[in-house]
Structure 1
């Protein structure tokens, strides 16, 4: 069973189609289709149920996808361990960071890391935390930044703990309060981040524990645009206090949420039991050195 065929199949599932998978593995759509057919011929069962332009996993496909993801991740571990035989003077750091907070928490570290290890190649991916966890699970990055809590399949090192704030127009009655309960916002429309952002999960869980499902009127991956929507009174938005206070606006007020678990806990995470290269360990050491008390 060739890893190339397994990789093609995994990407078809992850990317949602053959053409998208072809772009990911830098080949043609026909080559991806051929690889999946070869895989099906080898195991003697279909792995995808094709209906028109859509494909869903068969029972056999679910088993192959789960096992193949682990096999591909183990291959990346092996390559990283072999690369470490060359020493820290060379190597590769594959890092995944979310758009929210990275410019503040991690951008300053890149210059320090580059100065200490000038020959380490840094490959950076930027996605929401949910997507980064998928990529990390597949072994395509060494470390990712995500919001706690995370699955037991990951180990983690805390980076920063920040309270969450609601973004309200200054003229709104609730904007004058020192803190606010999520339930007090139940009649307001919500402006959230795109679906791949773990911050949404925290906000929606807070609402559901208060017994309501908010009306979501807009989503965006851009912090400044979300603030602009809150200023325009389209709805209430939410951000970590650290991020919100870096963008002062005299037309809006940042009111902390009162719930005891309304926090943005960001951490560096990696697969439990996975091999961490010297390059990855050096990054974790630098993060701990820079944020020792967070």
Structure 2
């Protein structure tokens, strides 16, 4: 019995079909059939009922499946730990990030990280901060970039949380249309009252940013004019470019978008903090520690005095120890 046989057995059990399993494993179907036949012969039992091309586990197969999956998981853990000993030549990081961070900070971080460490595979989960925290606690992620804002405060899950950036929110509008907020000083911030009177592009209700804005409007006793509701970030930016309405986005998202005019949103409370989070009971691997260092490096550049985001993004010092964080 070897790992390739167990991997083939587990894939056939998952797909219920030899041909589909062979495709997933990038094997010829006869080769996979021989692997399973050899495994059955070595174990002295039949693992599958075979009926007209479809297969189902026998009672012996059902007993073997959880053991096989455990053995394959242990083998993957062994590979990862040995890769750690080999340094940063190979390995894997499971990174979580919010949608707005994926289109800004994360894109810059991953581009540079891949150049320095091309052998490290990165699996990205794009979710809201609450879902990312849950994934961290379940062990489905090694590291996550989460946000805290006016909408959601401190967390319920115990994590090691390192705030790295404080980011203002900005209002984006079509650069080729009249400014919806005309004023003599283009750097003057837009108030919530001014914003509420202009047609807006609103994100889905479960978006962290949408929750933050709804909370701010309620606190100010305002009801915004909504032109379009429920769109994701890419669509919101495109709609704003076409003049359908304005959108409130994090400052980093609006950088390098010549078709959009960007105006700061007034109110010290309308900012968000970007934090690196991981489980406090799990030591970071060499690869994830390197990714954290790269994230801090990019954050330093984004907040540098000569950067395009200098007035809207501020570097936040590291917080030692575990903190309660959430979104």
Normalising by structure 1, we get a TM-score of: 0.61
Seen in structure 2, the aligned counterparts of structure 1 residues 101 and 87 have a Cα distance that, compared at 3 Å, is closer
Is the contact made by 1:166 and 1:255 (CA closer than 8 Å) also made in structure 2? yes
Q: Deviations along 1:199-244, whole A, 9 cap, x unmatched?
A: 2222222212212354543222243x21332345543311122322
2:267 is aligned with 1:289: no
CA drift at 1:191: 1.5
Q: Which has the larger radius of gyration?
A: 2
Is the contact made by 2:84 and 2:285 (CA closer than 8 Å) also made in structure 1? no
Q: Where do residues 102-181 of structure 1 align in structure 2 (5 Å cutoff)?
A: 102-148=102-148, 149=153, 151-153=155-157, 154-168=159-173, 170-171=177-178, 173-176=180-183, 178-181=188-191
CA drift at 1:182: 1.2
Counterpart-to-counterpart distance in 2, 1:198 and 1:109: 22
SS at match of 1:285: helix
Q: Cα RMSD between the aligned structures?
A: 3.3
Is the contact made by 2:137 and 2:279 (CA closer than 8 Å) also made in structure 1? yes
Counterpart-to-counterpart distance in 2, 1:121 and 1:231: 35
Normalising by structure 2, we get a TM-score of: 0.55
Q: Which runs of 5+ in 1 are unaligned?
A: 1-25, 29-75
CA drift at 1:97: 2.5
Q: Where do residues 1-294 of structure 1 align in structure 2 (5 Å cutoff)?
A: 83-84=80-81, 87-89=84-86, 90-148=90-148, 149=153, 151-153=155-157, 154-168=159-173, 170-171=177-178, 173-176=180-183, 178-214=188-224, 216=226, 217-223=228-234, 225-249=235-259, 253-292=261-300, 294=315
SS at match of 2:229: strand
SS at match of 2:181: helix
Is the contact made by 2:105 and 2:252 (CA closer than 8 Å) also made in structure 1? no
Counterpart-to-counterpart distance in 1, 2:15 and 2:192: 48
- Of residues 275-284 and 150-159 in structure 1, the stretch that sits farther from structure 2 once superposed is 150-159
Across the two proteins, how many residue pairs are aligned to each other?
217
Q: Deviations along 1:247-280, whole A, 9 cap, x unmatched?
A: 122xx53221110122243222223434432322
Seen in structure 2, the aligned counterparts of structure 1 residues 254 and 119 have a Cα distance that, compared at 3 Å, is closer
Seen in structure 2, the aligned counterparts of structure 1 residues 286 and 244 have a Cα distance that, compared at 3 Å, is closer
Is the contact made by 1:226 and 1:237 (CA closer than 8 Å) also made in structure 2? yes
Seen in structure 2, the aligned counterparts of structure 1 residues 228 and 123 have a Cα distance that, compared at 3 Å, is closer
Seen in structure 2, the aligned counterparts of structure 1 residues 150 and 200 have a Cα distance that, compared at 3 Å, is farther
Counterpart-to-counterpart distance in 2, 1:155 and 1:135: 14
Is the contact made by 2:93 and 2:142 (CA closer than 8 Å) also made in structure 1? yes
Seen in structure 2, the aligned counterparts of structure 1 residues 120 and 286 have a Cα distance that, compared at 3 Å, is same
Seen in structure 2, the aligned counterparts of structure 1 residues 229 and 118 have a Cα distance that, compared at 3 Å, is closer
Counterpart-to-counterpart distance in 1, 2:118 and 2:282: 25
Is the contact made by 2:103 and 2:253 (CA closer than 8 Å) also made in structure 1? no
SS at match of 2:236: helix
Is the contact made by 2:84 and 2:287 (CA closer than 8 Å) also made in structure 1? no
2:308 corresponds to: none
Counterpart-to-counterpart distance in 2, 1:181 and 1:152: 32
Q: Which runs of 5+ in 2 are unaligned?
A: 1-13, 17-72, 304-314, 316-327
